[in-house]
Every structure is written in structure tokens, then in C-alpha cells.
Amino acid sequence: MKGVILAGGLGTRLRPATLVTNKHLLPVFDRPMIFFAIETLRTAGIREILIISGPENAGDFARLLSDGSDFNCDFTFKIQKNPGGIADALKLAENFARDENLAVILGDNIFTENFENQIKNFKTGAQIFLKKVDDANRFGVAILNEKNEVLEIIEKPKNPPTNFAVTGFYIFDATVFAKIQKCKKSARGEIEISDVNNFYIAERKMRATEISGEWTDAGTPESLLRAANLVQSRA
């Protein structure tokens, strides 16, 4: 399985800190944010990693990460010219994937979970990872039935029907790219990853797992501080 780190976007919620740099290059306690996404993939056994970023800071990522030898990984870089959502960025990974399954992580997500077993056991379809949170309106929210099967994912609902947030780690088979092509832009002007996941749900090919480890995003000042405190507590 190959890995993809989505590290684009404008980081508007973190301005002015992101006026001259990509948010994934900001420090989380003692390391650049993107180091944690790399480590999550590495501990899951993934060594071939595609990093997708915007054009403004692509050179900064290359200088920071080089060829990946310091991480015992093989890095490939690709540029998303215009921010258009998570799924819009992911479609740039099609040639990299070469019909293999993909583990996809958002570059501003910090996990303590080890996904190695899930990666090894994954065969086909898709798998998402859930966490109960108090601010579910900031995320995609999963609606489950009594068997813990996913019925639907709603993107950033004003009044979340559940508190199961879909975290920024996904596993997809190669059909993900055909599903992305079927998606239409949302009211936010983006191709939503929740729409892609709902295609898998409609085909009954979605598996959801509630993670036991800690997780936070780092895309707002408050969550960036929370992420730094989490990393410091485990240093």
C-alpha cells in the first residue's frame, strides 16, 4: 500500500501565521507539523509517500524533506494549483497509486493511533476512522446504525446528529478516483471527501472503526495549541 499526505490549502484559519508559509510547515511543539503525518504512515508500514501541496510552498517541502532518506521513506511531490477540497487534491494521486490501495492522511492531523493492523488487513472498499468529539460541527460526521455500520456522512453540519467525527485518516481502494470524478462541487465550492465516502457507503463497501488513541487536527489556533500540548505530553 502507498501513502498520500494532503498538505495544500491556504491555512486561512491560522492567519497571520500562514501568510508567508504553509500551515503544515508550522511547528507543533518541537517538529514541523507534516512530520507527524509522515510518522503515522511510517509506523503503519508505508514507505512510498506522495505529498500534495500548493505551488507557493512546494519548494519549502522539498528542502525540508529532500528525498525521504532521513525518514527511511521514498517521497514524491505533486502540486495542487488551486485549492478545491480534499477530494480534489486526492485525484492528483491517481498516477502515483497505479491501481494500488492508498492510505490517505490530512497533513494537519495528529494521531497517537497505530494503524498497522488496519493497513495489513485492508483488502477492498474503504475504511474511515471515527472519534467522539465535542465540536463535531467542524468535521464530517458519521451516522451509524445499531450494528455500527455507516449509513451516511454529513460534512460540517450546523447541528450534528451524532458526535462521531470522521478523522483525517482514510484507506481507499483504487476505485476512489472514479468516485471522485462523479462528485460535484459543494456549496463551499469544493469537492468533498464526504461525498466520496458516501459513494462507498451506497455500495456497502465502507468500514468504520472508532480509534482508541488520541487525535486532534491542528488547523485552528486552538487546535494547533491542543496538538502541541498533546505532543509535549508524550515527549
Cβ pair 105, 3 in contact under 8 A: yes
Q: State yes or no: pLDDT of 202 exceeds 90.
A: yes
Task: State what percent of residues in the chain have pLDDT above 70.
Answer: 100
Confidence tier at 147 by pLDDT (50, 70, 90): confident
| Mean pLDDT, residues 20-35 | 96
pLDDT for residue 85: 87
Cα 93 from Cα 87, distance rounded (Å): 10
* Better-scored residue on pLDDT, 2 or 8: 2
Task: Indicate the helix (H) or strand (E) that contains 96.
Answer: helix 94-97
- Per-residue pLDDT, 211: 96
Give me the percent of the chain exceeding a pLDDT of 90.
Answer: 84
Q: What is the pLDDT of residue 221?
A: 96
- 164: pLDDT strictly greater than 90: yes
pLDDT for position 51: 97
Residue 67: pLDDT above 90?
Answer: no
**Arithmetic mean of pLDDT over the chain:** 94
pLDDT at 146 over 90: no
The reported pTM is 0.95
Span 74-98, average pLDDT:
93
Q: Mapping DSSP to helix (H, G, I), strand (E, B) and coil, where does residue 145 land?
A: coil
Which segments within the chain are labelled E, that is strand?
2-7, 27-28, 31-32, 48-53, 74-79, 102-106, 109-111, 126-132, 140-144, 150-155, 164-172, 206-210, 215-217
One-letter amino acid of 90: L
Q: What are the structural domains, with CATH classification, of the chain? A: 2-233 (3.90.550.10)
